[in-house]
Amino acid sequence: MKIKITQWVYTLGLIILGFGGPVQTALAHGEKALEPFIRMRTIQWYDVAWSKQQFKVNEEVAVSGRFHVAEDWPVSVPKPEAAFLNVSTPGPVLIRTERWLNGKPWVNSVALQPGGDYEFKIVLKGRLPGRYHIHPFFNLKDAGQVMGPGAWLDISGNAGDFSNGVKTLNGEIVDMESVGLLNGIGWHLFWGALATGWLLWWVRRPLFISRYRMLQAGMEEVLITPTDRLIAKAVLVAVPVIVLAVNAVAVNRYPNAIPLQASLDRILPLPALVNAGQVDAEAIKAEYSVAKRAMVFTVRIDNRSDKPVRIGEFNTANVGFINPELPAVSSQAPATAAVLKLDDDTPVRPGETRTVTVTAQDASWEAEKLDGLINDADSRVGGLLFLYASEGGERYISSVSAAVIPKF
Ligand SMILES: [Cu+2]
């Protein structure tokens, strides 16, 4: 219910913006609309990268990356039994030509497994020139849209040069920009005309009150004329006949057609990495200081690998808090990068279990509207903690979460 209300408020905000709000506010387009606990504890994106950010109309571009499905999935959010990965664009500025999940072609929605990691790739083609802020995002059934990190794309060239030819099963090449367009418009006009005609046939006569009076006076027979009955019968017969006849023509003309698909794709999470489970990080508690805009985690690190490890990054809702001592190993170039402070940054030795205080202090808690968490009915923070081996460059990722205690 709460989600619904937020969506309404957001829509209302959009409408108000549309009627002369300042232009720069329109740059935010829904990234912060969802409750913080949903953005932090459902789809946790990392390693998201674009193959290029400047390209021409007709040129292909790919966005790829990984995401972790949080183990601590919020109890009030429906489980990800049907999820669809898409790209948010301001209108049809790109077309999607391919989509992959864990190396498999991916057409329909998929059920995601909490605790699993997945690797995605979407191939797009430039359609309308311009400069756009584009995000990969997940449509979670009954939950909402969880945005991935955004990037600015510059599409140059001429809109008129765009071509989108597709080879049909019969080997014929059709232009997707115009195929079936006249047919679609024609059918809309036909049904519109039929419905309007039927409506006008009745509306042209005296309406409710006069008819009600006649009904009261027992004159209902006069209300419907023999011509009315005749026309009604003609429509009743003609409509199904037309539909069936035209359907027969279509089936005859296109005998080999694939129906629109409504099944779920079954794609399992990536197999656990070889070194998974060697380094564990667990958040024991979290405190949020409202005045300092700082989330302070108490994290227990258990190093069962044979190399010393250090905490490199905490990433949540596309905000990366980076340990400045290890900046080169960031999981991505997040739109918002902040500093992660540790009370003890000496490497955790093999076999050692250590409890560390990790401070993620930045204005982005407020700017990204993540601090609203403390007013939510689900005040649990979540995110990915990245640990790195001192030599060899192995990376260990832990999805951490903890209840948040606010400090005013
Ligand atoms: Cu954006």
Q: Which residue has the higher pLDDT, 239 or 395?
A: 239
- The answer to whether residues 297 and 232 belong to one domain is no
Query: 225 lies in a domain?
Result: yes
Which band of pLDDT confidence, cut at 50, 70 and 90, is reported for residue 24? very low
For 172, the token pair is 């014929």
Q: 81 and 165: one domain? A: yes
Q: What is the domain-level CATH number for residue 68? A: 2.60.120.570
Q: Is residue 195 part of a domain?
A: no
Q: What is the reported pTM?
A: 0.81
Same domain, 42 and 164: yes
Mean pLDDT for the stretch of residues 184-206: 93
Q: State in Å: Cα 70 to ligand 1 middle.
A: 23
- Cα of 296 from ligand 1 centre, angstroms: 28
Dist. CA 134 → ligand 1 center (Å): 6
CA of 29 to the centre of ligand 1 (A): 6
**297 lies in the same domain as 388:** yes
pLDDT at 219 over 90: no
Res 394: pLDDT: 85
For ligand 1, the distance from its centroid to the CA atom of residue 147, given in whole angstroms, is: 9
Could you tell me the distance, in angstroms and rounded to a whole number, from the CA of residue 359 to the centre of ligand 1?
A: 27
Rounded to the nearest angstrom, the distance between the alpha carbon of 338 and the centre of ligand 1 is 18
Q: How far is the CA of 23 from the centre of ligand 1 (A)?
A: 14
Query: If you measure from the C-alpha of residue 268 to the centroid of ligand 1, how many angstroms do you get, rounded to a whole number?
Result: 29
CA of 209 to the centre of ligand 1 (A): 54
Domain identity same for 163 and 210:
no
**Which domain range does residue 375 map to?**
279-407
What would the mean pLDDT of 293-321 be, rounded to a whole number?
92
Q: What pLDDT does 10 receive? A: 52
- CA-nearest of 339, 279, 288, 285 to 313 is 339
Task: Give the Å distance between the CA of 228 and the centre of ligand 1.
Answer: 56
Query: How does the average pLDDT of the chain come out, rounded?
Result: 87
Which amino acid, 75?
A: V
Q: How confident is the model at residue 21 (pLDDT cuts 50, 70, 90)?
A: very low
- Residues 176, 180, 181: CA angle, nearest 5 degrees: 90
**Number of separate domains in the chain:** 3
Ligand 1: centre distance to CA 150 (Å):
5
204 vs 98, more confident: 98
Binned at pLDDT 50, 70 and 90, residue 25 comes out as very low
- Assigned token pair, 387: 């640990």
CA of 322 to the centre of ligand 1 (A): 21
Q: Give the CA diameter of the chain.
A: 96
pLDDT (mean) for 308-334: 80
What is the 130 CA–ligand 1 centroid distance (Å)? 15
Separation of CA 64 and ligand 1 centre (Å): 17
The mean pLDDT value for 297-315 works out to 92
Q: Are residues 222 and 320 in the same domain?
A: no
Q: How far is the CA of 185 from the centre of ligand 1 (A)?
A: 34
249 and 285 assigned to the same domain: no
- Measured CA to CA, the distance from residue 241 to residue 244 in angstroms comes to 5
**How many angstroms is it from 149 CA to the middle of ligand 1?**
8
Cα(43) to ligand 1 centroid in Å equals 17
Distance 26 CA to ligand 1 centre (A): 10
Per the CB < 8 A criterion, the answer to whether 168 and 145 are in contact is no
Q: Which two tokens stand for residue 241?
A: 């006949």
Q: How far is the CA of 96 from the centre of ligand 1 (A)?
A: 18
Residues 143, 248 share a domain: no
Ligand 1 centroid to Cα of residue 213, in Å, is: 60
- For residues 111 and 159, state if they share a domain: yes
The band of 144, judged by pLDDT with boundaries at 50, 70 and 90, is confident
Cα–ligand 1 centroid distance for 334 (angstroms)? 12
- Asked whether residue 245 falls in the same domain as residue 288, the answer is no
366 CA distance to ligand 1 middle (Å): 17
Contact status, residue 405 vs residue 286, Cβ threshold 8 Å: yes
Residue 47, in any domain of the structure: yes
**pLDDT one-digit tens code per residue, 46-86:** 999 999 999 999 999 999 999 999 999 999 999 999 999 99
235 and 287 fall within a common domain: no
Going from the Cα of 90 to the center of ligand 1, the distance in angstroms, rounded, reads 10
Domain boundary among 129, 153, 169: 169
Distance 135 CA to ligand 1 centre (A): 6
Distance in Å, CA 217 to ligand 1 centroid: 65
CATH number for the domain spanning 304: value is 2.60.40.1580
Q: Per-residue pLDDT for 28 more than 80?
A: no
User: Is residue 43 pLDDT above 60, yes or no?
Assistant: yes
